[in-house]
Chain A
Amino acid sequence: MSENNLAKPAILMAIIVSIVVITWEFTLRNKGNKIAYDDGPPLWANKRAMVYEPSDKTVVFIGSSRIKYDLDIPTWESITGCHAVQLAIEGSSPRPILEDLANDPNFKGRLIVDITEGLFFSTRSGNRPKENIEYFHGQTPAQKAGFWLNGLLESQLLLLDVENLSLNAQLEALEIPSRNGVFMAPVFPSDFQQNTYERQMYMTDRFLADTNLQYRVKGIWAFFAAGRKGAPPMPAEELTAIIESVKVATDKIKARGGEVLFVRTPSSNTMLAGENMAFPRETHWERLLAATNCQGIHFADYPALDHFVCPELSHLSQQDAIVFTRHLAQILAREKGWKFPSTSF
């Protein structure tokens, strides 16, 4: 090439990149993919900053993945007129987030804590809550601006889906067999884990129609259950310490005028049976409510919430989430005395 400049390669690069990106985007659109948002620390921090909104117009949700699937945010907001701030993180215990909110003197609002016993009462809370909390408290102006710009692009381009379409996500999806003894995290099908800007998760229609995909996720639950099989039960003093720490946190929020309510979201079949066996209601759920003196809604106590069948045993489909959310709001308003700006149930 002549020694002058790289203008010609730059033009060629622009043409190739444009063609590939446009083709890629149209292929995804033709496959019926929907816009997905990176559920990383920036999105979580964006929601975390909303907990200071007026408490009569906002409810904060924390927990594990179930509340992210089971709470249909558009339904909640349309019938209650109340903003739902979703801070739950899948695969993790919400206790670090509960403590973070409890230690934040400016948080005086209403909080719903989703209980998935296997995660809530675990001593391993996962790294994500800690990472997200640290990110929120140390977020720089540049990161806030970056989040805004990223959101603009993500809202337009299907190919920006870090959890399912990025290079590493696609390499992981190959599930190259690993060496003996090396833990390999199972890969969830992308149709199982779609994430909205409000941090609601949902299964796609493809997932609901494809029993193979559902069995794959059931297999992943079985894989995790097998990992816990044979593990000794949690020592009584450890459970007591966990419940005590939750009480300390809920007391702090209530002392500031806030409100805390626990919700046990539905699970089905063998998943439910296993959970009932490993975490008996009396020793965990009832004890938690008694110790913290907080209200609770257990799906099994309400016929309106007790009839759902989770496609992969643990989470509701989006259609069922709409019904679940409607009933949850009704119970909160009619039985728990919660007041909402509107109640169009």
Chain B
Amino acid sequence: MVFNSYTFFAFFAVILALHHLPLSWKTKKVNLLLASYIFYAAWNPPFILLLWLSTVVDFYVGRALYTQENPYKKKLLLVISLIGNLGMLCFFKYGTFLLDNFVLLVNAMGMDYHPAKPNIILPAGISFYTFTTLCYTIDMYQKKSEPVKSMLDFSLFVTFFPHLVAGPIVRPPQLVPQFESPRMATTKQMMDGLFLLSLGLFMKVVLADGMLAKSADDVFGTNDLLPALDAWAGVLAFSGQIFFDFAGYSTCAVGVALCLGFVLPQNFNYPYAAIGFSDFWRRWHITLSAWLRDYLYIPLGGNRHGLRRTYFALMVTMLLGGLWHGANWTFVVWGGLHGLYLWVEKFIRDQREASAGGDLVARGNPWLGFFYAFLTFMLVNITWVFFRSGTFEKAWQLLQSMFGMTPEPKALLTSLALLKIAVVIPAMVIAHWLMRNTKVLDVAHKLSWWMVGVIWSAMILLLIWTQESGSSFIYFQF
């Protein structure tokens, strides 16, 4: 089920009604759990078995990890859990990719091996819920937090429908305590939640799907060489599309949870106003960045073992972060480019022995800050070429077009398509810059009530007018 569908509205209305009935807290939690399973099964019912398996295994293994004193048995339990979780992820998400690469390798070595193509369907949200359960297992191993006492609370933590399919990736201490005592949204929470849900849908339906998706699809889908204008427009359209799509989903998720009285972590913080790449990753898909930092970068040594180890940990984290997004080498290169950017940034920073980025703004030089933010944004756009292109040939072809290296380019985008991009993308970048140190709800609470009412009305009317519903979110495929 997707947030931008009539099905979800009917579903959510029923859930809200049930949640406000005078029932016991345990019954309400059971309702929420059943609702979450229905939400998930609405895609592909059999995959719910995987979710159950993952939940049950991690609940019991997590508890055993916490109580086990024998270090060997403890390690064995951890390995079993990691193999279970990552094995499932590897099979469903990377099975075909691994087989393709193995075939390429053995054929390059002279063996004539051509197995049948496996037909593996990717269960929705497997990358997200695997990371959710993995962090619980690792936390239990490291005794970072207490094991969840009830199976019901743990199941709800893993399955809670607002975050289940595309995040935000939650940690046990962020959500489990919220299930322990009765929660009902206050009027303020309900209104804030509905506002965020409206905003998220506006971002997804009007801006991502209505204004930008077609231009991005056209440019990344064509086999022709393009003029620089079309190529850049297509890449900018995609950078806007993926932001509005994914941040739209996260905003909906936070809003929906808030309407039920639960608080989910923020996942985006105006990333296109980032000054530098470490700042970008503190603003883009924040919960994944934090996960990778805590469960990959730091265990790899982080910045505690010298410069070389830091650079190594940084690059490995970004490469694996890239691979997490999709089973294709283009995603690895996308991650690698970000790793490279982070290397360069760290090198410059170390050379100056002072932090760049935020200081520029703090020193009262906002124009220079905006220039660096814009430079960051443009460099991020280069990485999106690899992220969105299905092949390296396509990525290279598009890069050639972007930098005017095409002999006979063929214009593709209509004036209307260019106009949409020319309106939406600068508005997005400026809005990110103006909002970079604040939060949308804070701004909404500070504006006059009638102004918020008018803006809210405009968003809803544009949603109705756009009449796009039911299209999937980009991050569902990850």
Contact = CB atoms under 8 A, between A and B. Distances in A.
Interface in B1-34: 1-2, 5-7, 10
Interface stretch (B110-118, B153-161, B392-400, B462-470): B462-470
Contacts of A146: 5-7, 469-470
B447 interface: yes
A241 interface: no
Nearest to A170: B465
A156 to B, nearest CB: 13
A83 to B, nearest CB: 27
B56 interface: no
A160 interface: yes
26 contacts: A1-B447, A1-B449, A6-B194, A7-B191, A9-B452, A13-B460, A16-B454, A16-B461, A17-B461, A17-B464, A20-B461, A21-B464, A42-B470, A140-B44, A141-B43, A141-B45, A142-B43, A149-B6, A149-B10, A150-B469, A167-B206, A168-B210, A172-B416, A179-B411, A181-B410, A182-B413
A182 B226 CA distance: 11
B6 A10 contact: no
B446 interface: yes
B411 A182 contact: yes
B105 to A, nearest CB: 32
A55 to B, nearest CB: 31
Interface in A132-151: 140-143, 145-146, 149-150
Interface residues of B, number: 51
Nearest to A180: B411
A285 B10 CA distance: 50
A200 to B, nearest CB: 21
Given A12-B457, A141-B42, A142-B1, A166 B467 contact: yes
Contacts of A149: 6-7, 10
B467 A6 contact: no
A180 to B, nearest CB: 7
Interface of A: 1, 3-13, 16-17, 20-21, 38, 42, 140-143, 145-146, 149-150, 153, 159-162, 165-168, 171-172, 174, 176-182, 184
A272 B337 CA distance: 58
Contacts of A4: 188
A142 B411 contact: no
A12 B466 CA distance: 21
B241 to A, nearest CB: 15
Contact of B188 (A5, A168, A174): A5
Contact of A166 (B45, B414, B466): B466
Interface in B402-452: 410-416, 419-420, 444-450, 452
Given A1-B447, A140-B43, 13 more contacts: A6-B188, A7-B191, A9-B452, A12-B454, A17-B464, A20-B461, A21-B464, A140-B42, A143-B7, A143-B470, A159-B464, A177-B415, A179-B414
A1 B445 contact: yes
A3 B445 contact: yes
A198 B248 CA distance: 35
A73 B51 CA distance: 46
Contacts of A174: 416
